Amino acid sequence: MTLVWSGLALGAVYALVAIGYNIVYISSKSFNFAHAQLMMMGTFVAYTGLVTLELPVLVVAVLAALVVMIIAGLEEVLAVRPVKDHRSLLVTTLGVSVLLDGVTQLLWGRDPLDVPFFASNNVVEILGGRTYPAEIVLLLSAVVLVVVLSRFTKMSRYGLALIGLSQDEEAAKLKGINVRKFMFMAFVASGAIAGLLGLLVGPKTFAVATLGTSLALKGFVALAIGGFGSLYGALIGGLSVGLIEAFATYQLGSQYSNISVFVVLIGILMLRPAGLFGKVTERVV
The angle, 0 to 180 degrees and rounded to 10, between the axes of the packed helices 179-205 and 2-28 is 160
At position 94, the amino acid (one-letter code) is: L
Residue 207 DSSP class = B
The length of the chain, given as a count of residues: 285
Positive or negative torsion for Cα 268, 270, 272, 274: positive
Q: Which residues of the chain register pLDDT less than 70?
A: 86-87, 163-177, 278-285
Positive or negative torsion for Cα 256, 257, 258, 263: positive
pTM confidence score = 0.90
Is 2-271 assigned to CATH 1.10.3470?
Answer: yes
Beta bridge pairs of residue 274: none
Report pLDDT digits (tens) over 123-137.
888 888 888 888 899
Torsions phi, psi for 175 (to 5 deg) = -80, 0
Nearest to 126 by CA among 266, 31, 2: 2
Report pLDDT digits (tens) over 199-208.
999 988 889 9
